[in-house]
Structure 1
Amino acid sequence: MNDAIATDALTLPASELARLDARFPARNVAVAGGAVVSVRECGQGPVVVCLHGIGSGAASWIDTAALLASQARVVAWDAPGYGESTPLEAAAPTAADYAACLSALLDALGIESCVLVGHSLGAITAASAARTDSRIRRLVLVSPAIGYGAAFRAEARAKVRTERLATLDELGIAGMAAKRAGRLVSDKASGHARQWVRWNMARLNDRGYRQAVELLCNADLLADLPPPMPVRVACGALDVVTPPAACEEVARQCGVPLELVDDAGHAGYVEQPQAVAALLRESLAG
């Protein structure tokens, strides 16, 4: 793939960028400690807060958010070190560090109650936040990453850290997006979904991604699940990143059935936003 083709493959049509700005605009929110968190927001009503995965960003939620905007206030963050959000101080931040930033964001936005949605690596932050923040009344984990922090996963942890950082060093952000983004969707994905997944990954920041790799390697979702609370666990039926068998274990430990999103890979909310929006609408209704 030459540079021109690679660059073209990682852009969005002007019409899509205009739709993003109009339907799901971004703004920076000052939080305690002098940090900034970039968020995108639309709609009014009960609040849904959406956390993206390691290779994505707030904009990835646009289609799901648009489907919910008439019934809910949808807020999606760029995690610390993503978009224009201030990175965390530690080179290897913990789930609790990300959760503390999320809590500060809820404070700054005046959110008193919400449904919290965590996709992939975002599920690790979401679960940690739900352990201590009573404003989170329901938790939805979509294709949750379990992490490699458990003692028995030491060999896998070292391999994942080495491979992910080597890929970043070798290819850079743009090259990584061109090479890896396709794994996040199924073979049935539309061109629209593929475009959005590539574009979001191409906008990663080097420092924020390296910190997120450390979170992925050191976290243990199964050991950090919150006490009993309303939880739903969903997974793309065709997910090859966090496959249904792995997500089934998360659901089992939460005491709920795993809900499969048909015809969807890992980024199920990008590939099948109608199905994920329906799940979140049900979660809002309780």
Structure 2
Amino acid sequence: MNDARSTQGAAPRFGVNLDHGWVSFLESGNGEPVLFLHGLNGNASSWQGQLSELSADMKMIAWDAPGYGKSDAAGNTVEALARVAIAFARRVWRGPINVVGHSMGGLVVMKMAVLEPQLVKRLVLSCTHPGHGLGPSGGANERYRRRLEELRDLPPAVYGERRAKGMLPEGTDEHIFRKVAQIAAESRSEGVANAAWAIQTEDLQPELPRIQAPTLVITCDQDKVAPLAKAQPLLDRIPDVRHVELTGLGHAPYIEDARRFNTVIAGFLLEE
């Protein structure tokens, strides 16, 4: 298994070969290691505001999920994605690691904490929920079928703008809107299809009491994708949990107000 590195961009890009194939990631900083897992229409670049601002205190590792960025696709269940994440975490760091999961990435990191409780030191769940639990026979719902059709049929820039409109509150700064739209425009159909199916079919609620890691749940009061009502089972069922609501922000708080988001997660991850 070979590692590769590129120094282009704000944070160095690396890659590793795992059993399923290639995983690309961004890395910066030193100190306490933190693994960042992005959402359905994100990639490793979603976390540039964390990679740049938190690197003085933490070793930041942000992956491209299977089927995103330069990473090879893997399975279409949360468990399959979590097992790739576990293998990746063990490859990039020896010992327990802090993990931040946003939206789709939140489901993956919760499953990581269930499957390998000794691997996850602290857990941050950003704008996420335990899955829709439709079951394999129900298939993806109409919203996700339409999204996959849009990704296939629309120009990437138009697809990215539609996703940004759904993620961000009215009146969001144009620079932030363009940044979120640009990242969403880079989505690959194989990654989104697998992740969308995983989100629709998973129901983690029965497993949440098995999460042992201290957990921070972040919700945003302008988030239409994963509002507090959808996150409530996490607060009710995870044993060692605390909650922070960020006001005025939507479904991309790590970009909308990176400084406030970073202050919250750093305070939790670095506390004694």
Partner of 1:24: 11
Partner of 2:148: 165
Please say if residues 30 and 108 of structure 1, whose CA atoms lie closer than 8 Å, have aligned partners that are also in contact. Answer: no
Partner of 1:114: 97
Aligned residues: 262
Post-superposition Cα deviations, 1:156-186, rounded to whole Å, max 9, x if no partner, equal 9533343323333442544321222222122
Cα deviation, residue 27, structure 1 = 1.8
Change (3 A) 1:148 1:156: farther
Q: Which amino acid aligns with 2:35?
A: V
Change (3 A) 1:64 1:103: same
Cα deviation, residue 149, structure 1 = 1.6
Partner of 1:271: 256
TM-score by length of 1: 0.84
Q: Distance in 1 between matches of 2:192 and 2:168?
A: 20
Partner of 2:158: 175
Partner of 2:127: 143
1:70 and 2:56 correspond: yes
Post-superposition Cα deviations, 1:98-153, rounded to whole Å, max 9, x if no partner, equal 111111112221332211010001001000001122121111100003322256x9
1:94-109 to 2 correspondences below 5 Å: 94-109=77-92
Please say if residues 248 and 258 of structure 1, whose CA atoms lie closer than 8 Å, have aligned partners that are also in contact. Answer: no
Partner of 2:4: none
Change (3 A) 1:68 1:178: same
1:9-88 to 2 correspondences below 5 Å: 21-31=8-18, 33=19, 35-88=21-74
Partner of 1:216: 199
Q: Structure 1 residue runs of 4+, over 4 Å off?
A: 153-157
Identity %: 26
Q: Distance in 2 between matches of 1:126 and 1:200?
A: 21
Cα deviation, residue 242, structure 1 = 0.8
Cα deviation, residue 96, structure 1 = 1.2
Q: Distance in 2 between matches of 1:104 and 1:265?
A: 31
- Structure with greater helix share of residues: 1
1:238 and 2:225 correspond: no
Please say if residues 37 and 78 of structure 1, whose CA atoms lie closer than 8 Å, have aligned partners that are also in contact. Answer: yes
Q: Distance in 2 between matches of 1:146 and 1:156?
A: 17
Change (3 A) 1:274 1:154: farther
Q: Distance in 2 between matches of 1:172 and 1:220?
A: 33
Post-superposition Cα deviations, 1:18-71, rounded to whole Å, max 9, x if no partner, equal xx944322221222x261111001100011110000001110101122221100
